[in-house]
Amino acid sequence: MRGDKTRAIISLIVIALAFVALLWPGGANYQGIGKLFSRIKLGLDISGGARIEYRVDIEQSVENPSEIVDDVWTVLRNRLDAAGYTEAIIKKTFREENSFIVVEIPGATDTAKAEQLIGSTGVLWFGQVVNEATSNPFTDPALVNEAKREKAQWLLDREGKKWYLVRQEIEKITNLKLVSPRIVEAMPVVDQNNVAGYVVSFTMAKEYAEIFKKITEKLYVPEEILNKGGISYQQALKKRLAIVLDNRVQFAGFVVAKITDGKAQIRGNFNLDEAKQLAAILRSGALPARLEKTSSGWVAPLLGADIVRTSLKAGIWGIGIVLVYMIIVYGVMGIVADIALLYNTFLLLGILAATGAILTLPGIAGIVLTIGTTVDGNIIIYERIKEELRRGSSIKAAIATAFSKSFWTLFDANLTTIIAGLFLYYFGTGTIKGFAITLIIGVIGSLFVNLVVTRVLIDSLSGGIKVKAPKEGGARA
Amino acid sequence: MIDFIGKKNIFIVVSLVLIVASLVSMFTRGFNYGVEFLGGSEIILKIEARVDEAYVRNLLQNLAPEFEKSRITQIKSVDDPANITKFSIVVSPKDENGNLRVYTGAEKAKIKEEIVARFKENGKVAYVAGFNETSGYAAQEIKNLTWKAILFTLLAILFYITIRFQFVFGVGAILALIHDVIITLGFFSFFNYELNVAAIAAVLTLIGYSLNDTIVVYDRIRENLRRQRGRSIDTLVNDSINQVIKRTINTSLTTFIVVFILLLFSGNSIKPFAFGMTVGVIVGTYSSLYIASPVVIKWIKK
């Protein structure tokens, strides 16, 4: 029985390690039996919290898309930190050639504030206003055609009242455009010419100053033309500069001086609030790509706790009934199956704790399902043992044959479940991944428990196994 | 000994009837899709009073245009306290071009406040316990991924069984799995049970689970094929199934107990999973015994 000794030692070491992983200090602060679970990371659907996912809209032609995603990540990190969301987790994920940014805020009871912060995150760009309209231009074919001709797009202004036809490439000169410039400073300043009004003064980072200079040269309109009116004024209207954020025109106005050093002022007869807001938009660090909210959700911690309580209760009831059922049907071997079941459950929890994998609500369902696979493995082995005994083998021989014959059955049967789990992990979104993880770990664990732990227990209890006399029809050939 | 093979035609007819009924229901009644598949916003509302759907609808229908066509369903678990009712409200806000959109942060905050305020006016304490959104883009993506997941899982399994057994076993297993998937989805359609991402997870798990059962049967056939040359294939397959039937029933029963209790008591979000598994365990066990082997018996090579 040297093999059994090795198996016994391995079984004890593995379960001991699982408990070490579970009870290692530093987990959440639970009391009593809850201590066993304190090191398991809980998904937001259990612990409560908010999750918002954005798709990063990157143009096909971009050379280094992952760099853009990194930049988006940095900008969001800065913004959330600045707003006090230091506990927020920002993750990059990729699916099907698309990049996503996921923001998770544990314990948050609402995403509204965070979303507002991230929400106004469209690309900031400077463009040329070619035309304007007061009603929806998409209902007027002439205006739609004009947009095509001018290679420009109709965009609403911030209040949603007026439409502007804006073109990124200034005067249709290729590459003369300014998208996502870094603005190092922006603030409201009292307008020297107008006592009641404010202007927004801003400074562009050095690397953008040159192109901004070229743009202001092209769009420069001397002030006397603005005052004179007439045909030259009509022409000047086509040379207005627009600041666009989130596909909304935040500001449209004339360039009244060539700007060589990247320092400029926006004049728009603003009151203090408007000026502050525009400054904040400029300053907040424009994102290098547009973000499209694809999904968001939050679970109140209370609701999460409710669901966990009922689901756990259901799980424990289920386990309890299965434990009793196994003893009734299989006697001593049923007790072994019960031990195997509890062993695998704690092993699974231990692995979750050790690897930091996240337990989600579907993950609990995965654990519950693991009960099925563990019990199944034991039943396959037991039925084999019984069969061998009916054939007239000695109990020791029956056990040995049963284990060796069951190996490939268990292997094939469980591997297919793992295959399903892997695809579920690869294609799954959100909390479903958590289900796939617990399912895969659980199935591998049940294979180990069936072949190693059960073996030790069955061998040591083999004296207690009773075999019913063959029923009518006798032993099968 | 049960005669599985002799009566195989009866069971094939039973299965065909179930499959046809399922397909008819899927195409006429359709599915009660979860918000992840439809796109839109789902608001989970918890009210500290006993009220019904009509009451909630009446209170909220002029909140915003999309609330007029909202889908309001009560969420129940066996264990819920008597004085609390929970509702799921699914709305599909549209943008100016009529496309599905998601709420901005500010809009969400406003809707939440407004809902709570309306209940307060009527002397009820209510709070928004969840606000989940899925954009049209994400819904489309989830649909695509789901189909791919099911398809690739089936292909991988066909490949694996072909290597480990014979191609014909692979075909039998896949037929049984398609049978299980269609009938389980049929149940979702027929009982109008919410088909969400968790339900699809159940379908995929079911594929693994039902296959597990099927493989145990195949494994025994393979073993008997090696040992018992000369016997008719019909008897051999029938014996094989009978040899493993106790295991199949005990395993299925224990799994069934667990998922059925989960269905009765679990919280709302994994209920569709538990429902899919409960139906799936029964259908999967049946197909492993009556469909997977009997249908391919003619082609099994000795």
Spans of chain A, pLDDT less than 50: 469-477
On whether any CB of chain A is under 8 Å from the CB of B245, the answer is no
Q: Say how many C-beta atoms besides its own lie within 10 A of residue A426's C-beta.
A: 14
- From chain A residues 175-214, the ones with a CB under 8 A of any chain B CB are none
CB pair distance less than 8 Å for A362 and B239: no
Rounded Cα distance between A135 and A57, Å, is 29
pLDDT digits over B204-252, tens only?
Answer: 888 878 888 888 888 888 888 888 777 888 888 888 899 888 888 888 8
Q: pLDDT at position A415, please? A: 87
Please report the pLDDT score of residue B181 as a whole number: 92
In contact, B253 and A324? CB cutoff 8 Å: no
Is any Cβ of chain B less than 8 angstroms from the Cβ of A295?
yes
Token look-up 């992990």 returns A425
- Output the six-digit token pair for A119: 């929400």
Q: Residues of B with CB below 8 A from A436's CB?
A: 201
CA distance A127 to A424: 45
Nearest to A379 among B108, B149, B247 (CB): B247
What does the pLDDT look like over A26-39, one tens digit per residue? 766 666 666 677 78
Percentage of chain B beyond pLDDT 90 is: 14
Which residue in the set A326, A413, A439 is minimally distant from B212, CB to CB? A413
Q: What is the pTM for the complete model shown?
A: 0.72
Do the bridges between strand A248-253 and strand A240-245 make them parallel or antiparallel, or are there none, so unpaired? antiparallel
Residue from A45, A115, A308 to probe the interface with B (highest B Cβ count within 10 Å): A115
Name the residue among B140, B80, B116 with its Cα closest to residue B268.
Answer: B80
- Check B135 against A294: CB less than 8 A apart: yes
A417 vs B133, B209, B269: nearest CB: B209
Q: Which two tokens stand for residue A351?
A: 């692995």
Q: In chain B, which among 209-238 make CB contacts under 8 A with chain A? A: 209, 211-212, 215-216, 219, 223
Q: Give this complex's ipTM.
A: 0.82
The residues in B 89-118 lying below 8 A from A, measured between CB atoms, are 102, 104-106, 108-109, 112
Closest Cβ–Cβ partner in B130, B141, B277 for A297: B130
The confidence score (pLDDT) of residue A442 equals 92
Q: How much is the pLDDT for A446?
A: 92
Instruction: Classify residue A184 by burial, with Cβ atoms within 10 Å: 0-12, 13-18, 19+.
Output: middle
pLDDT, tens digit, 9 for 90 and up, residues B43-73: 988 888 888 888 888 888 888 888 888 888 8
Interface test with chain B among A299, A375, A406, A427, by most B beta carbons within 10 Å: A427
Q: Which amino acid is at A160?
A: G
Cα separation, B193 vs B271, in Å, equals 9
The token duo for A143 is 């205006």
Residue A150's pLDDT is 86
Q: Do B153 and A435 touch (CB under 8 A)?
A: no
Q: What is the pLDDT of residue A280?
A: 67
In chain A, which residue's Cα lies nearest the Cα of B36? A295
Average pLDDT, chain A: 81
Best residue of B97, B137, B204, B246 to probe chain A, by most A CBs closer than 10 Å: B204
How far apart are alpha carbons A345 and A206 in whole angstroms? 60
Under a CB-based contact definition with an 8 Å cutoff, are residues A143 and A264 in contact?
A: no
* B215 vs A337: CA distance, rounded Å: 21
pLDDT in tens, chain B (302 residues): 788 888 888 889 999 999 999 999 999 998 888 888 888 888 988 888 888 888 888 888 888 888 888 888 888 766 667 788 888 898 888 877 778 888 877 788 888 888 999 889 888 888 888 888 888 888 888 888 888 888 888 888 888 888 888 888 888 888 999 999 999 999 999 998 888 888 888 888 888 788 888 888 888 888 888 887 778 888 888 888 998 888 888 888 988 988 888 888 776 677 888 899 999 999 999 998 888 888 888 777 65
pLDDT at residue number A283: 66
* Helices A395-427, B136-164: crossing angle, 10 deg rounding: 150
Residue of B nearest to A377 (CA): B251
Give B4→chain A minimum CA distance, Å: 18
Contact B211 A417 (CB under 8 A): yes
Tokens 């049929």 sit on residue = B186
